[in-house]
C-alpha cells in the first residue's frame, strides 16, 4: 500500500543581518535537491541574492520547494527560469548537465555567471561550455559538502559552513566573475580553492569517488552472503560496517554518473588500491605484523590531521 507523505511545512529562514545590497539580483537554480536546496537556504540566510527562481524536473519537487520556502517562485521550464538571472546554478546529476546547458543557453542574460556543483569537472565543462553563449561567464564549481540524503527536503543552510568549495575556471575566463562567485561561496560560509579541472578530478577520485566505490562494493558483498551471515551483518553493523552503509546509501543516479564521467581517474586510483590491497593480503598471509602496524600507524596520523584541519 502506498504511504501518503505529509506535505512539508514551510520553514522559517533566520536571516543574518546584512546592510549591503545582495551580491546577485536574481539566482536561478536548476535542480532543487540536496545541494540546490542547501544553496538556496544558505543564500537566503546570508542575504546574498535578491530573488530565487527554481526549476526541477518534476512538478512534485517544484511544489515541495515552493512550500518549504527556499525559492521565491518555481517554473517548469529551465529556459524561463534563467531569464534575467545574473547567477545560474546548475544542481542536477552530472549526466544531465549537457541537456540543461542546451536548454538554457539561448536564454541566458548577457553578463550572467553560470556555475554548476557537479562532482566531476572535465566532462561537465566539455558538455556545457559549447552551449553557453559569448558574454556569459561559465565558472564551474564543486562544493565538497553533502550528506547521503537527497531531494528538496534534505537541504539546510549550514551545509557548506567550514567546508571547501573548488572552482575550476576555464582558461581565459573572466577573473572578475570567478572573484564574484568566490565571494558568493564565502558568503555562505565555505572556504574556496581554485584549481584546474583535471587536477580536481584526480584529487576527487581518491578522496571521494574511490571511498564510495569501496562502500558500494563492500555493502554489496555483505548482502550477497549466505542468509544467516547476512542477518548478523545487520545485527552487528556497529563494528565498522555501519559507516560503509551510510556512504553506500548515497543517491544511485548521482553516483552512476560520477563513475561514468570520471572513469580514467577512478580506474587509475582503483589500480593503485588493488596493488596496495595485494600487499596487505601478502603481509597478513606471511604474518608480517610490523608491516601492518606501521601502515595502520600512518593511517591513524592521517585521521588525526583531518581532525586537526577541522574537516572531520
Ligand atoms: P538530488 O538531491 O538528487 O537532486 C537532483 C535535482 O536534479 C532534483 O531537483 C532533480 O529533479 C533534478 N534532476 C535529476 N535528474 C534530472 C534530469 N535528468 N534533468 C533535469 N533535472 C534533473 O541531487 P544532489 O545531491 O543535489 O546532487 C546534485 C549535484 O550535486 C550532482 O551533480 C552531484 O554530483 C553534486 N554534488 C552532490 C553532493 C552530495 O553529497 N549530494 C555533494 C557535492 C556535489 P526532480 O527532483 O524533480 O527529479
| Counted domains in the chain | 2
CA atoms within 13 A on the CB side of 220: 6
One domain, residues 204 and 190: no
- Residue 92 Cα to ligand 1 midpoint, Å, equals 4
Is 3 inside any structural domain? no
- Residue 166 Cα to ligand 1 midpoint, Å, equals 18
- Residue 128 Cα to ligand 1 midpoint, Å, equals 16
The whole-angstrom separation of Cα 124 and Cα 260 is 12
Q: Return the pLDDT at 7.
A: 45
Q: Return the pLDDT at 17.
A: 53
Other residues' Cβ atoms within 10 Å of the Cβ of residue 102: 15
Q: Return the pLDDT at 223.
A: 85
Q: Return the pLDDT at 2.
A: 35
Q: The pTM is what?
A: 0.91
Chosen domain end from 195, 221, 236: 195
Q: Which pLDDT tens digits describe the chain residue by residue (312 residues)?
A: 333 344 455 566 666 555 678 999 999 999 999 999 999 999 999 999 999 999 999 999 999 999 999 999 999 999 999 999 999 999 999 999 999 999 999 999 999 999 999 999 999 999 999 999 999 999 999 999 999 999 999 999 999 999 999 999 999 999 999 999 999 999 999 999 999 999 999 999 999 999 999 999 999 998 888 888 888 888 888 778 888 999 999 999 999 999 999 999 999 999 999 999 999 999 999 999 999 999 999 999 998 988 888 878
Chosen domain end from 195, 229, 253: 195
One domain, residues 183 and 57: yes
The backbone torsions φ and ψ at residue 133, rounded to the nearest 5 degrees and listed phi first, read: -70, 160
Domain that holds residue 68: 24-195
Q: CATH code at 97? A: 3.40.50.720
Which residue from 8, 28, 32, 34 has its CB within 8 A of the most atoms of ligand 1, so it is best to mutate? Answer: 34
Q: Is 51 in the pocket of ligand 1 (CB under 6 A)?
A: no
Specify the ligand 1 atom closest to the Cα of 38. Answer: 26
One domain, residues 120 and 212: no
Is 9 inside any structural domain? no
- Residue 270 Cα to ligand 1 midpoint, Å, equals 25
Is 12 inside any structural domain? no
One domain, residues 274 and 142: no
Q: Return the pLDDT at 260.
A: 98
Q: CATH code at 267? A: 1.10.3660.10
The whole-angstrom separation of Cα 99 and Cα 108 is 15
CA 136 to chain centre: 23
The whole-angstrom separation of Cα 205 and Cα 197 is 12
Chosen domain end from 195, 216, 236: 195
Amino acid at each position: 500500500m502506498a504511504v501518503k507523505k505529509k506535505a512539508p511545512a514551510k520553514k522559517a529562514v533566520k536571516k543574518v543581518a546584512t546592510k549591503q545590497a545582495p551580491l546577485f539580483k536574481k539566482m536561478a537554480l536548476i535542480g532543487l535537491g540536496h545541494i540546490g536546496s542547501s544553496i538556496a537556504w544558505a543564500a537566503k540566510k546570508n542575504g546574498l541574492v535578491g530573488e530565487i527562481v527554481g526549476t526541477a524536473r518534476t512538478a512534485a519537487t517544484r511544489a515541495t520547494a515552493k512550500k518549504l520556502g527556499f525559492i521565491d517562485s518555481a517554473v517548469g521550464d529551465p529556459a524561463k527560469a534563467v531569464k534575467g538571472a545574473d547567477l545560474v546554478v546548475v544542481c542536477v546529476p552530472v549526466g544531465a548537465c549537457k541537456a540543461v546547458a542546451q536548454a538554457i543557453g539561448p536564454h541566458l542574460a548577457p553578463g550572467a555567471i553560470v556555475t554548476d556543483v557537479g562532482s566531476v569537472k572535465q566532462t561537465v565543462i566539455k558538455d556545457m561550455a559549447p552551449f553557453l553563449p559569448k558574454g556569459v561567464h561559465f565558472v564551474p564549481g564543486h562544493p565538497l559538502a553533502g550528506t547521503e540524503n537527497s531531494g528538496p527536503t534534505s537541504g539546510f543552510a549550514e551545509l557548506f559552513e567550514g567546508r571547501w568549495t573548488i572552482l575550476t575556471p576555464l582558461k581565459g575566463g573572466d577573473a572578475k566573475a570567478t572573484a564574484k562567485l568566490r565571494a558568493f561561496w564565502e558568503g555562505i560560509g565555505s572556504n574556496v580553492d581554485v584549481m584546474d579541472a583535471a587536477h580536481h578530478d584526480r584529487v576527487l577520485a581518491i578522496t571521494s569517488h574511490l571511498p564510495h566505490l569501496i562502500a558500494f562494493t563492500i555493502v554489496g558483498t555483505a548482502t550477497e552472503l549466505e542468509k544467516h551471515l547476512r542477518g548478523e551483518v545487520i545485527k552487528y553493523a556497529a563494528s565498522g560496517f555501519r559507516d560503509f552503509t551510510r556512504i553506500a546509501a548515497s543517491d544511485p543516479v548521482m553516483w552512476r554518473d560520477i563513475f561514468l564521467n570520471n572513469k580514467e581517474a577512478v580506474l587509475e586510483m582503483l589500480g593503485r588500491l588493488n596493488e596496495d590491497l595485494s600487499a596487505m593480503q601478502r603481509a597478513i598471509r606471511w604474518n608480517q605484523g610490523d608491516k601492518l602496524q606501521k601502515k595502520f600507524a600512518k593511517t591513524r596520523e592521517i585521521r588525526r590531521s583531518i581532525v586537526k584541519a577541522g574537516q572531520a
